[in-house]
Chains A and B, each alone.
Chain A
Amino acid sequence: MNGGRLRSVAAVVGLSIQEGVRRRVFLAVLVLTAGFLALYGLGAHFAFRDVDEFAAGEPKILDAHAFTGATIFGMAMFATLFLGAVLAVFLTLGVVRGDAESGLLQPIVVRPIGRTTMLLARFGGAAALSAAYVVAVYLAAYAITRATGDWSPDHLLGPALGLALGVAIIAALSLLASTVLSVTAQGIVVFMVFGAGLIAGLLAQIGNAINSDSLHTIGRVASWALPFEGLYSASLHALISGTSGLTGVVLQLGPFGGSEAAGPDLILWSFAYLLGVLALAAFVFSRRDL
């Protein structure tokens, strides 16, 4: 990428960030996230305290403390992915068709920046912010879990990176949707795709619990078709991959059922998927009359 294009990309990303600051989007996100983390801290504190009281004096067949830590942190991770997905979708809302219909896009794309670079700049900005956001919230939730219950996941950074890649994929899907759909339709479609991925994960979890190959297969296929779900599932698995014994078994039957380790295939597929979605978005955008 030459200096001119780089400067244009920086200008577009800078404008998006400036808008976020000026419109107080980031402030609202910050305040709401602080609220979420405060509630999470309160919940984690009471969960650990009550479980420790409840399990005191009982024979230690199940590590109730570890079970509680993994469960609430897994839930925090789900909330983090959801918030990250919301941010990714809103940062890419109406980027192509919506902005073209309102007349915001034309003055920008007639400049030498070009359509593909503009699209990649918008993706880069949205993906970077969303990814940084989920990593920050994940680490904050981890710090709270550690402080309130002295519990740590078996792997710390892998799940954070999995979530970050997951929201980047959601941002790319949202951008692709923006090339053909109006703003409202784009939002609805992307959230429905996100929900479909999570439901597929839930099906895999149920399939795992009742030992149904069909449900498990559906979950696996959905994980590959919508890799953000596969990455989330793998991130969930990484939290407890080293937990063995009855605690590990119970976690697999319960909230972590259906989660699977991310092999190199999933990671490679996720990157290829991301590039494929961006290439398709750029192609559709390049053919579009504005």
Chain B
Amino acid sequence: MAPVLAVKELNKRYGKQEALAGIDLEVGAGQLVGLLGPNGAGKSTLTKIACGLVRPSGGSVEVLGQPAGSPQARAALGYLAELFRFPGWCTADELLRFHQRLVGSAGGGAERRELLDLVDLAAAAGKRVEAMSKGMQQRLGVAQALIGSPQLLLLDEPTSALDPVGRRIVRQLLEELRRRDVAVLLNSHLLSEVELICDHVAIISGGKLVKAGTPQELAGPGAVEVETESGVKTFEGAVREDAPRIVAELVAAGERVYRVEVRHSSLEDVYLEAVGGETG
């Protein structure tokens, strides 16, 4: 099945600065891909190219087989920018109605109510944007991106202004979208969140894709750490099932065991190793 978003050898230069250098990435239907990387790594640039806001210098980006930025590609996606603003005088309902008209959605009031309900803003339908907290505006932004039932959702730091409850709402929403076969590309700095909900993770650093895979693949096998009389012994690559055997062997060898810990390599470890401690 053809991917919903296909990025091939994507390049972007701003003058002499290379923002993206040959990125390859695919997002399939119902797949939730997390895009990680330090500030200035090129995550937002990639997302903006995918929705036609920025022109690539080389390579290609296609949405459902259509070139990114074409009317057909734009009709198939929903987008929430990292830095966005909605007219402050608009109410939540008016804003969604405006976007329904832009998209040509026939969903009417039912679609608006459903989306506001999904982001827990049903009670704020008549509230002006300027009277909303940043977190409410961000949730409204997610609802706005979902107008017209897009097949691809591009979210750039959608939870940066949200409190834990707001984050959980968005997380549940993304899981619901996966069930509805919507492809999602999620830019985020929140590694734990990405680890929790994404099927696939891509780490970008310096405009290059430095690591990609499922969170489990990336996290790796970890290690078993055993504290004995002679000190702490680490068995790299060992998993939980290896722990009894390791302990038995140590005891048989005359060691006294005080503590056993199964360690997992977290996405954070993988991320830090991949970006080499780089920060934007």
Asked if A114 is at the interface (CB within 8 A of a chain B CB), the reply is yes
Residues in A72-116 with C-beta less than 8 Å from chain B: 102-104, 106-114
Beta-carbon nearest neighbor of A10 in chain B: B101
Question: Of B48, B77, B102, which one neighbours A290 at CB under 8 angstroms?
Answer: B48
Alpha-carbon distance between A102 and B208 when the two chains are bound, in angstroms: 28
* A22 touching B101, Cβ below 8 Å: no
Residues in A9-32 with C-beta less than 8 Å from chain B: 10-12, 14-15, 18-19, 22-23
Beta-carbon nearest neighbor of B12 in chain A: A289
Asked if B83 is at the interface (CB within 8 A of a chain A CB), the reply is yes
Most buried by B among A10, A102, A106, A111: A111
* A110 touching B98, Cβ below 8 Å: no
Question: Of B48, B74, B89, which one neighbours A19 at CB under 8 angstroms?
Answer: B89
Q: How many A-B residue pairs have CB under 8 A?
A: 70
Asked if A4 is at the interface (CB within 8 A of a chain B CB), the reply is yes
Alpha-carbon distance between A19 and B74 when the two chains are bound, in angstroms: 26
Beta-carbon nearest neighbor of B102 in chain A: A111
* B89 touching A106, Cβ below 8 Å: no
Asked if A49 is at the interface (CB within 8 A of a chain B CB), the reply is no
Asked if B219 is at the interface (CB within 8 A of a chain A CB), the reply is no
* B53 touching A22, Cβ below 8 Å: no
Q: Number of B interface residues, CB 8 Å?
A: 28
Query: Which size bracket describes the interface of A in this complex?
Result: 20 to 34
* A103 touching B55, Cβ below 8 Å: no
Alpha-carbon distance between A7 and B100 when the two chains are bound, in angstroms: 10
Asked if A247 is at the interface (CB within 8 A of a chain B CB), the reply is no
Residues of chain B contacted by A290 (CB below 8 angstroms): 48, 53-54
Residues of chain A contacted by B55 (CB below 8 angstroms): 287, 289
Alpha-carbon distance between A30 and B124 when the two chains are bound, in angstroms: 33
Alpha-carbon distance between A18 and B94 when the two chains are bound, in angstroms: 10
Question: Of A8, A18, A103, A108, which one neighbours B83 at CB under 8 angstroms?
Answer: A103
* B87 touching A112, Cβ below 8 Å: no
How many Å from the CB of A11 to the closest CB on chain B?
4
Beta-carbon nearest neighbor of A3 in chain B: B104
How many Å from the CB of A97 to the closest CB on chain B?
14
Beta-carbon nearest neighbor of B51 in chain A: A110
Given A110-B79, A114-B71, A290-B53, the answer on whether A103 and B85 have CB atoms closer than 8 Å is yes
Question: Of A15, A106, A113, which one neighbours B53 at CB under 8 angstroms?
Answer: A106
* B51 touching A112, Cβ below 8 Å: no
Question: Of B48, B79, B87, B102, which one neighbours A11 at CB under 8 angstroms?
Answer: B102
* B102 touching A113, Cβ below 8 Å: yes
Residues of chain A contacted by B247 (CB below 8 angstroms): none
Binary flags per residue of A168-185, CB closer than 8 Å to B gives 1, else 0: 000000000000000000
How many Å from the CB of A120 to the closest CB on chain B?
15
How many Å from the CB of B172 to the closest CB on chain A?
23
How many Å from the CB of B14 to the closest CB on chain A?
8
Binary flags per residue of B72-97, CB closer than 8 Å to A gives 1, else 0: 00110101110111110100001000
Question: Of B77, B80, B87, B104, which one neighbours A15 at CB under 8 angstroms?
Answer: B87
Residues of chain B contacted by A111 (CB below 8 angstroms): 74, 99, 102-103
Beta-carbon nearest neighbor of A7 in chain B: B101
* 17 interchain pairs, CB-CB under 8 A: A8-B104, A12-B102, A14-B101, A15-B98, A18-B94, A19-B87, A103-B83, A104-B84, A104-B87, A106-B81, A107-B99, A107-B144, A109-B52, A287-B55, A289-B55, A290-B48, A290-B53
* A interface residues (Cβ-Cβ under 8 A, vs B): 4, 7-8, 10-12, 14-15, 18-19, 22-23, 102-104, 106-114, 287, 289-290
Return the 4 tightest CB-CB contacts between A and B, nearest first.
Answer: A11-B101, A111-B102, A290-B53, A103-B85
A111-B74, A289-B48 are known; give 14 further A-B pairs, CB within 8 A.
A11-B101, A15-B98, A18-B94, A19-B87, A103-B81, A103-B84, A104-B86, A106-B84, A107-B80, A107-B141, A108-B102, A111-B99, A113-B102, A289-B53
* B interface residues (Cβ-Cβ under 8 A, vs A): 48, 51-55, 71, 74-75, 77, 79-81, 83-87, 89, 94, 98-99, 101-104, 141, 144
